[in-house]
Structures are given as structure tokens and as C-alpha cells.
């Protein structure tokens, strides 16, 4: 088995840093529009029942004026109905640099008689302080501040999705980066979107590292450390404590990636001119395979005895790219031989 170029001291430092990020206090303000549907209100309340002591959730009903947003708020979630004050609440939050999202239910909230989507909602309220005009509805719009589409999440609660709040979770991950680990610890619906985002980011980083480093093996310490950090972050997302026990998991999960990189070095040695294509492809595929396996492992509340299966999954998920690389090398070598 290839030696593993992971600096354990750096892994320990990452464990400490990730633990600190996950334990940061967070505050969420829920603003309820009285005209929002009961199904939407119930779904959001259920989502924000915090499961950790680091999160603080407060709520307020949107009446005839915009509520005051506390300065220490990390996120404002507005449960939207027909009120045209929703855009004003977003603006009030953004004045304090607080991310704010308006959650509406597809077809059952704003101008529900027309079953309008989030795009229509944004278009109708686009111009600040301009009353939108809409024919054929039972509602009489008032004057309200516009809402950008980027501040809207349009949930389809009647669908058969296993994760109906996935879109909201993704919005939070992308717009509250400094507290996303803390929020994922408190609110389970954020965990899968955050794990997927971490997988994408690390895959891109490792692909770039594989492209930049030309000396075989020189990229391995950086790629391995990035993968270790990713696995630790995914573990933190799913509520695992950040302690020395994680080192065993990191070594077991990343083991599946070392075989892939050994194959990459072998391929590059055969056809050096293709190293620029092979190395980043293997680095990226190995990282994504590792991420998928780790997500599955922690979503199933994995235990240490199952880690050998995870390592096997990593190798299996990365195998198609490695096989393509081997085929590519074989074709090039055959072609070169035929022309000699």
C-alpha cells in the first residue's frame, strides 16, 4: 500500500479549527407573514427547531410595519404570503449586512389566484417603491420595496422530493458562509446541501492542484490534506465531535484515494505529455468519490467498523476515470508503436 503523505499535525490543527467554526453561536430571525399558508409556516417552523445549544431562533409576525432586525442576527428567513412589506424586511436586514431570504410556496402564496412562481414574484416587485399592477387577481397590491430573485426561495411542498427544503438549505450555504457549519449543526436540512458544496469546492481545488504540479507525486501532500479537511468538515456537518477519533476515520477514508493517485503516476510515466490531463482528472475524481462515500457514511451515522467499506467505495467511484486514463495511455502507446 502506498505511503500516505498526510501530516498528522496539520490534521489535528484542522480538527481544532473546524470544531471552533462548528461551535460558533448563531442567531436566526424568522419573520412570519400572516397571509402565508399554514403548510409553509409549519414546514419552516419544523425546519428551524434547533438541535444544538449554539443556535438561537427568534420569531416575529409581520404586521403593518417592518420589524427591527437585531444587529447580531446571522440570518433572516421571511415566510412570505401576500404582504408587500416583504421587500422592505429584506432591505432592513441588508442594511445591517444580514443575509435575508423570502421563502414562498409555489402556487399558493403571492397572488396565488394566478399561481405565480418566484420569477413572477420578483418581476412584479422589481422596482422599489412602485406598486406592481396585475390584472385578474383578487388582491389589491400596495406600495412595497422590490425583491430580487436572488433573495427568493420558491418551495414546492406538494412534490415527492425527499428533501423539500434542499433549495433553502443551498441558499443558506451559499449566502451565510461564515456560519454555515454552525447552522448545519443546529438545523439538519442544511447538512446535505453543505456537504455537497464542500465536495464541489474541494474537487475543484484538487483538480487545479493536479493541473499545476508537474513533478509526479509533488501534488500528493496538498491533495491529501485537502481531502482530509473535506472529510473532517463533512463529519462536523453531520454532528460528529471534532476530536482525535476523527484521525482514524480520515486515514481510512482517504486510503481509497491513494491507489488512484498511484495509478495516475504510472500513467503519466508512460505518456508524460498527457500528464496535464490525467493528473487533474484523477485528483478530481478521487476527491469527489471520497466525498460521496463520506457523505453516505455519515448520513447513515457511520461507525469505525464500516470505514473499510468506505475506502472501497472511494476506489470504486474513482475507478471509471482511472480506467479511461489507462485506455487513453494504451491507445497513445499503440498509435506511437504503429508509426515507428
CA dist., res. 212 & res. 190, Å (int): 33
The pLDDT value recorded for residue 271 is 44
Which domains are present in the chain? Answer: 25-185 (3.40.50), 189-338 (no CATH)
How many C-beta atoms surround the C-beta of residue 326 within 10 A?
Answer: 15
The pLDDT value recorded for residue 256 is 58
CA dist., res. 141 & res. 187, Å (int): 35
End-to-end CA distance of the chain: 37
Would you state the torsion angle of the CA atoms of residues 200, 156, 73, 17, taken in this order, to the nearest 10 degrees?
-20
Are 256 and 311 contacting, i.e. CB atoms less than 8 angstroms apart?
yes
The pLDDT value recorded for residue 145 is 66
The pLDDT value recorded for residue 147 is 79
The pLDDT value recorded for residue 9 is 85
- Three-state SS across 66-115? CCCCCCCCCEEEEECCCCCCHHHHHHHHHHCCCCEEEEEECCCCCCHHHC
Nearest CA to 185 among 229, 235, 228, 149? 235
Provide the grid cell at 8. Answer: 498528522
DSSP state of 150: G
Nearest CA to 263 among 308, 313, 324? 324
Query: Regarding beta strands 55-61 and 26-32, do their DSSP bridges make them parallel or antiparallel, or are they unpaired?
Result: parallel
The pLDDT value recorded for residue 292 is 85
Provide the grid cell at 99. Answer: 443575509
* pLDDT per residue rounded down to tens, the chain (340 residues): 445 567 788 888 999 999 999 999 999 999 999 989 899 999 999 999 877 778 999 999 998 889 999 889 999 999 998 888 888 999 999 999 999 999 988 766 544 334 445 555 555 544 433 433 333 222 333 345 677 888 888 887 776 666 789 999 999 999 999 999 999 999 999 999 999 999 999 988 888 887 665 555 556 778 888 888 999 999 999 988 888 778 877 777 666 555 555 544 544 444 444 444 455 666 677 788 888 888 888 888 765 445 556 555 555 555 554 455 445 444 433 444 454 4
Amino acid at each position: 500500500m502506498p505511503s500516505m503523505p498526510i501530516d498528522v499535525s496539520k490534521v489535528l490543527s484542522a480538527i481544532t479549527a473546524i470544531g471552533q467554526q462548528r461551535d460558533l453561536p448563531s442567531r436566526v430571525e424568522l419573520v412570519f407573514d400572516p397571509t402565508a399558508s399554514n403548510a409553509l409556516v409549519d414546514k419552516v417552523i419544523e425546519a428551524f427547531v434547533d438541535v444544538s445549544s449554539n443556535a438561537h431562533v427568534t420569531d416575529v409576525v409581520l404586521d403593518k410595519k417592518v420589524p427591527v432586525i437585531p444587529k447580531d442576527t446571522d440570518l433572516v428567513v421571511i415566510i412570505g404570503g401576500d404582504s408587500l412589506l416583504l421587500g422592505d424586511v429584506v432591505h432592513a436586514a441588508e442594511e445591517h449586512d444580514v443575509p435575508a431570504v423570502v421563502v414562498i410556496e409555489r402556487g399558493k402564496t403571492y397572488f396565488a389566484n394566478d399561481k405565480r412562481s418566484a420569477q413572477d414574484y420578483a418581476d412584479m416587485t422589481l422596482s422599489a417603491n412602485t406598486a406592481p399592477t396585475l390584472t385578474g387577481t383578487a388582491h389589491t397590491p400596495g406600495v412595497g420595496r422590490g425583491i430580487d430573485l436572488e433573495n427568493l426561495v420558491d418551495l414546492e411542498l406538494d412534490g415527492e422530493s425527499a428533501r423539500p427544503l434542499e433549495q433553502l438549505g443551498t441558499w443558506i450555504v451559499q449566502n451565510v458562509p461564515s456560519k454555515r457549519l454552525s447552522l448545519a449543526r443546529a438545523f439538519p436540512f442544511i447538512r446535505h446541501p453543505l456537504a455537497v458544496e464542500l465536495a464541489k469546492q474541494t474537487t475543484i481545488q484538487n483538480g487545479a492542484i493536479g493541473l499545476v504540479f508537474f513533478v509526479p507525486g509533488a501534488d500528493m501532500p496538498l491533495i491529501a490534506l485537502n481531502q482530509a479537511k473535506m472529510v473532517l468538515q463533512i463529519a462536523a456537518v453531520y454532528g460528529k465531535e471534532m476530536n482525535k477519533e476523527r484521525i482514524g476515520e480520515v486515514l481510512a477514508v482517504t486510503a481509497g484515494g491513494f491507489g488512484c493517485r498511484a495509478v495516475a503516476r504510472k500513467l503519466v510515466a508512460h505518456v508524460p505529455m498527457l500528464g496535464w490531463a490525467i493528473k487533474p482528472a484523477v485528483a478530481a475524481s478521487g476527491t469527489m468519490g471520497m466525498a460521496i462515500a463520506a457523505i453516505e457514511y455519515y448520513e447513515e451515522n457511520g461507525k469505525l467498523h464500516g470505514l473499510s467499506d468506505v475506502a472501497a467505495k472511494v476506489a470504486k467511484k474513482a475507478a471509471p476515470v482511472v480506467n479511461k486514463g489507462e485506455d487513453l495511455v494504451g491507445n497513445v502507446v499503440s498509435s506511437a508503436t504503429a508509426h515507428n
